[in-house]
Structure 1
Amino acid sequence: MGGGVDKFSDMEMFVSIVKHQGLAAAGRELGLSPATMTARLQALEQRYAVKLLNRSTRHLSLTDSGALYHKACIEILDNVNETEDLIQNGVKEVKGSLKIAAPKDVGKQYILPIVSEFCKLYPDVVPYLYLNDNVSNIAESGMDIVIRYGELADSNLISRRLSASRRVLCASPAYLKQYGTPLTPQDLVHHHCLAMLRSNEELKTWHFQDQDKRNAITVVPKRFSDDGEVIRCWALEGAGIALKSVLDIQDDIDNLRLVTVLNGYMKNFNASTSVSSADLNVVYISKQYQPKRIRLFLDFMIDKFRYSSNY
């Protein structure tokens, strides 16, 4: 057995150990005894002269070197598997899982139909669509693609803009008829407001900018939810004023189900003065070898947003 084959099988072994969080379970998957697994892992660490795993009787964790090696293993194995598919099935064959996370509102209105159309073109791709407003750590979530509003600080991630957007305050005509229309941000403290929860944080301080003047108003919400779609439903039923992305409610605005207020101000959940902080972005982990199905879906989705007048 050549050294190249040894390295490849060691990569498969290491990925299996991390996946199963133990040598015994990984050994059962690979058909190897615990003694063989232990010996091969020790030989692997000796080859690179680094410790890859911290092991105790109940817990297994990656060292910094182990995390680096694990990430490289997954990329290389993905690339080899994709190459084998291309050789065996031809260039047109695209298959495998595609894990996508998106906020509920934008996920149902925009991403769901795009996924359905993509799957008609590539029926062997199996989509996992997670409608979740709270994905914060993309690497740990296991997602291939995350769609989210706002900017990112993590340099290990690539962010591409899907659509320009902005945050707006909105309410139903019935609510405004009953309670009046706020004319300044300060008026909001006297109104029924609908606030988002993000990782159990109450997003009830709303930020405004009017030319060079900034203002932060802490509202007293009547209702909270961690689901943007619920906030929209409450606004539609006349429960109060919501701070929403205009993309989420564009159809409601066009059909006069919701009305925007305080339109002269730039609004956000944080103190960012950047217009792009409310844009809709697609985010993914930088990989040298991106599986073809992910590359194809990214391009397909970005084109759909670029060329659709509805978006």
Structure 2
Amino acid sequence: MGKFSDMQMFAVIVKLQSMAGAARELGVSPASITTRLKTLEDRYGVKLLNRTTRHISLTDSGEIYYRSCLDILDSVYEVENLITKGVRSSQGPIKIIAPKDIGKRLILPIITNFTAKYPEVTPHLYLNDHVHNVTESGVDIVIRYGELDDVNIIGRRLGESERVLCASPQYLKQQGVPNTPNDLKDHAALVMLSSQQELKTWYFRKGAKLQSVVVNPKYLSDDGEIIKQLALSGYGIVMKSRLDIQSDVEQGRLCTVLDDYVKNFSSATTESSTDLKVYYLDKRHQPKRIRLFLDFLYEAFAEHEKEKV
């Protein structure tokens, strides 16, 4: 077995998080995978994977090797595609993760318009409010609010946004309108869950003053769309990105409160930390379909920004 085959094997193990699963996908015995992995680690004199009976994780050296494997494998596959399909081919999958609200309302229409123009592209759209390690996920494009702390990815702003507090008119009529952040302690809060953490500490900045308030969750969910629906139904106050709720505000279904404060789920309470951004791996040679989709995405959001003016 050559080094390229070892890279393919290692990438499959990490993707499936299973030695046995990798063996099945590659059509070899589990013992063969174990032997090849040990030979690979012995060759470089480092441990690449931490392995237990139930879990596989990358070591620091494994992380470096895995990223390099993905780059090399993608380059080889791209060369093969250029040879077999020609330099103009854009055929293949694009894997995209986006938050549920904005994914359904804005990203899905953009994808359908893109595939109408490039029908040979097969989009995989994952609607998910949580982003895991982009390098390990196998995803091509991540769309999300705020910053991703990963030196291996490139980020670009798609749309200006901000965090807002909002509730239905019926809720505010019954429970009153909060005038200060501290008033939120007496209100029902609709709280997001992120990686099993309750985002119930809300931060507010007014001028140079920064303060935090721990709200009282009435409902909690890891699904931003459910949280918004609860707000529309009058169950409490929610912190959302303006892009997610702007049409509901314009049509009177939701009302914003405490508008003179800058808000966030972290102490990095700045407007730029809540903008909608697109992230993708820093690769020297992006597949053509990825480049085409990114250009299409930027153009679509540029038009969307013009419509807001």
Q: TM-score, normalised by structure 2?
A: 0.85
Structure 1 28/142 Cα, relative in aligned 2: closer, same or farther at 3 Å? closer
Residue 265 of structure 1: aligned partner: 261
Contact residue 135 and residue 141 of structure 1 kept, 8 A? no
Distance 1:33 1:189 in 2: 59
- Report the equivalent of 2:217: 221
Residue 153 (structure 1) shift:
2.5
The answer on 1:50 being equivalent to 2:78 is no
1:240, 1:39 → 2: CA distance?
57
Q: Cα distance, 1:50 vs. partner?
A: 3.2
Q: Which amino acid aligns with 1:230?
A: I
Which of 120, 125, 140 is 2:121 aligned to? 125
Shift, 1:289, TM fit: 2.6
Provide the residue aligned with 1:181 in structure 2: 177
Contact 2:67 2:135 in 1 (8 A): no
Q: What RMSD over aligned residues (CA atoms) do the two structures have, in Å? A: 3.0
User: 5 Å matches for 1:1-311?
Assistant: 6-16=2-12, 21-22=18-19, 49-51=44-46, 53=48, 64-308=60-304, 309-310=306-307
Amino acid at match of 2:137: S
Question: Cα offset for 1:56?
Answer: 7.5
2: CA distance, partners of 1:187 / 1:226 = 25
Name the SS of the counterpart of 1:187 in structure 2. Answer: helix
Distance 1:172 1:35 in 2: 60
**Whole-angstrom CA distance in 2 between matches of 1:174 and 1:60:** 50
Using the alignment, how far apart are the partners of 1:60 and 1:241 within structure 2? 40
**CA–CA distance in 1 between the matches of 2:227 and 2:45?**
51
Given the superposition, is the C-alpha separation of residues 49 and 204 from structure 1 closer, same or farther in structure 2, using an over 3 Å criterion? closer
Runs of 5+ consecutive residues of structure 2 not aligned to the other structure: none
The aligned amino acid for 1:108 is K
Q: Deviations over 1:8-27 (max 9, x none)?
A: 445445445655644x8767
Q: CA deviation at 1:90?
A: 2.3
Q: Alignment identity in percent?
A: 55
Q: Once the 2 structures are TM-superposed, how far is the Cα of residue 51 of structure 1 from its aligned partner?
A: 4.0
The structure whose Rg is larger is: 1
Aligned residues of 1:160 and 1:282 also touching (Cα < 8 A): yes
d(CA) in 1 for partners of 2:199, 2:138: 26
Q: Per-residue deviation at 1:55?
A: 8.8
Q: 1:196 to 1:32 in 2, by over 3 A?
A: closer
* Cα distance change, pair 88–170 in 1 and its aligned pair in 2 (3 A): same
Alpha carbons 1:76, 1:289 under 8 Å: kept:
no
Structure 2 residue matching 1:146: 3-state secondary structure: strand
3-state SS of paired residue (2:119): coil
Change (3 A) 1:280 1:50: same
Q: Distance in 2 between matches of 1:130 and 1:269?
A: 23
Query: 1:155 Cα shift?
Result: 1.8
Residues in 2 aligned to 1:283 and 1:149: alpha-carbon distance in whole angstroms: 10
Using the TM superposition, give the Cα deviation of residue 83 of structure 1 relative to its aligned residue in structure 2, in angstroms.
2.1
